[in-house]
Structure 1
């Protein structure tokens, strides 16, 4: 059975964070409507209870940059009452309007809020979770880490033959006149038989190509550990399929015995992290934003860089029967004296398979990643508030083995 990861995490009442191999999304359900917000946009999934009728529509700005898609202002979701819509305006205030876009009187709005208190609260929390999506993705990034004994389905890496299936030809029909004139019908039958014979030959040739291609794909899968070059190429393919909130550059070095792998990663800079957090102001039916303090942002970054290392180490141990993974994480820091960026090593960990199997993967959402990393052979100089000082990484690969890396 192939490895599939999908998990829904309840982050707030009525709001779920959905984690899967395809990415991260946020969803919230209200009576008669649910809203899903992910990397493809924000969608309203609206249904009439008991009728079996529903529709799905996009309610954010299609296309554009991630910055555009994070903006969910003027989100419009119908309630279960006729002529009542909940509107999130550009100031992140939740309004109640009719189908023509007019506001209700204060007394009418008060009555509607009494009947739809839970719905409106859930909608506000969904919008808040959507705006905090970049923060949530960073916080939960390690929870997609597979167990070291998870099976690896080769079909996930199967590249189908890029050649279309032969199309059946359009045979010439037999008309009443052809039935009256035998010589005409004979000519049509012979032409159709030639078309069918050609079609069958094309089918045989195409199927032969498919079989040969599948054999090559299976051989490629079976030979992925046949050499250092094959193993390195396979690992690059595995890691290349991972999705990250920010770009993560990696370099792999596999030693000649394929028992030890060095993985060097360049982390995103702390300046790339979100600087604003949104919260629900229920009494005023709106969202408020607040800038992250330097300490909170450093702690978020501390969790993020350890989450990246944790995820990459887990993918390596699942993909290849290696005994030791040596992970080193680098970043760049501005040198005020030289006005240039210096490369610094935030931490370097040497992890054995035996030690990795001791991690409790059933409680990934509860793990403190800095503490988990400290259970391995670790080089790190970090304060409790996330201030890193550069360390000397583990020396793992000789110049001869380095030449084998891709």
Structure 2
């Protein structure tokens, strides 16, 4: 029979040290409910004194990771482990990004790159999904090209009565964090119970503070909405300042794909408006396009031909005018005629001083604007659309502009 040695030293009420041949442990808690700590781990012990009934459970359980066939023989490579995982019906979360040089980066959900063996496995089992992700990245990089060519697709139709589009307060109502539930430790150890209660009080105070701030912001937002409703449904019919404010706000909300500045001047009778559009320079437009290879997981970066780039600039220059005219005749019901002139910064050939080169100037009346089919904007070519109105422009078919003199205010007064 083996000799067993154990000694218990009491160091505080409810706390004792256990000395034995196996080492030193500790027990914490009142009689009948103790936490014991030793080399085998942390255990909870609950019993009914005098009855002999007790319950013991290990509290610091740790999960184990299966390693498949790694238990017998040499450890498997990362690629083999990943392949077995996928063969067993598992899934992986991968992130794919493409930079402006066309280089593809593939990482896991922790942004860690895969090694070559893992990449081969991913291409074998998830090749199509990876191609889809790379294609989405190409579309993201080409988004500017698409936006520049389709800026007129969101042109609004004209209206004779004011329009108001209410907005909801964008911030969601804050949610109360759940109370921290008592644990076995907090039930038997008063300091832990106090910390738990303090944490719950802190959460309650934080929620009350956050909710009050949210409520105050919501009230301010709703008041601004009330004022905006009055401005866009009543004052917009008679007040020039309100008209200017409404138009400026909505023009400022347009996500121009390239910096485009719009200035305007309303006529005294609230029936006419003159607009100047400062267009970006052609050099600011994209000069490359990203394409996914037909059979390889590879992105090619192709230079855009000069002719196509000029055509893109031509369509954007005219599409901007359509978009601005749509906002005017949609937001300002009293306006019956609009004069739009577009220019870009240039240098005077004679003096070398900065100047503005006007590319076109067009006069549009509201009855003429109604003739456009706003349900088929994707089939419309903006340069051709503006030719339906009184247009001053010198341009080749491929989009080479020569400077023109913009139409004068007198044509707007006559209209």
Please classify the TM superposition score into its range, dividing by the shorter chain length: 0.5 to 0.7
Cα shift at 1:132? 1.0
Q: 2:140 matched to which residue of 1?
A: 130
Q: 1:384 matched to which residue of 2?
A: 397
Q: 1:102 to 1:82 in 2, by over 3 A?
A: farther
Alpha-carbon separation, structure 2, partners of 1:143 and 1:150: 22
Q: 1:277 to 1:337 in 2, by over 3 A?
A: farther
Q: 2:130 matched to which residue of 1?
A: 120
Q: 1:304 matched to which residue of 2?
A: 316
Larger mean Cα displacement after TM superposition, 233-242 or 213-222: 213-222
Q: 2:330 matched to which residue of 1?
A: 318
Cα shift at 1:129? 0.6
Alpha-carbon separation, structure 2, partners of 1:213 and 1:92: 46
Q: 1:363 matched to which residue of 2?
A: 376
Q: 1:84 to 1:263 in 2, by over 3 A?
A: closer
Q: 1:114 to 1:359 in 2, by over 3 A?
A: farther
Alpha-carbon separation, structure 1, partners of 2:268 and 2:369: 22
Cα shift at 1:303? 0.9
Instruction: Tell me the secondary structure at the aligned position of residue 130 of structure 2.
Output: helix
Deviations 1:346-371 (A, max 9, x none): 11111111121111111212221111
Larger mean Cα displacement after TM superposition, 237-246 or 309-318: 237-246
Cα shift at 1:327? 0.7
Cα shift at 1:375? 1.4
Cα shift at 1:156? 4.2
Cα shift at 1:126? 0.6
1:82-231 alignment runs, 5 A limit: 82=91, 85=94, 87-88=96-97, 92=102, 101-104=114-117, 109=121, 113=123, 116-149=126-159, 153-154=163-164, 156=166, 218-221=229-232, 222-231=234-243
Q: 1:341 matched to which residue of 2?
A: 354
Deviations 1:30-76 (A, max 9, x none): xxxxxxxxxxxxxxxxxxxxxxxxxxxxxxxxxxxxxxxxxxxxxxx
Deviations 1:301-327 (A, max 9, x none): 111111111100000010012111111
Q: 1:117 to 1:342 in 2, by over 3 A?
A: same
Q: 2:197 matched to which residue of 1?
A: none
Question: Which of 251, 261, 266 is the matching residue for 1:249?
Answer: 261
Q: Do structure 1's residue 394 and structure 2's residue 407 form an aligned pair?
A: yes
Cα shift at 1:283? 2.2
Q: 1:266 to 1:96 in 2, by over 3 A?
A: closer
Instruction: Tell me the secondary structure at the aligned position of residue 282 of structure 1.
Output: coil
TM-score by length of 2: 0.57
1:45-56 alignment runs, 5 A limit: none
Instruction: Tell me the secondary structure at the aligned position of residue 244 of structure 1.
Output: coil
Larger mean Cα displacement after TM superposition, 327-336 or 262-271: 327-336
Alpha-carbon separation, structure 1, partners of 2:352 and 2:402: 19
Deviations 1:170-194 (A, max 9, x none): xxxxxxxxxxxxxxxxxxxxxxxxx
Structure 1 unaligned blocks of 5 or more? 1-78, 161-207, 402-406
Cα shift at 1:378? 1.1
TM-score by length of 1: 0.58
Q: 1:92 to 1:318 in 2, by over 3 A?
A: same
Structure 2 unaligned blocks of 5 or more? 1-85, 171-218
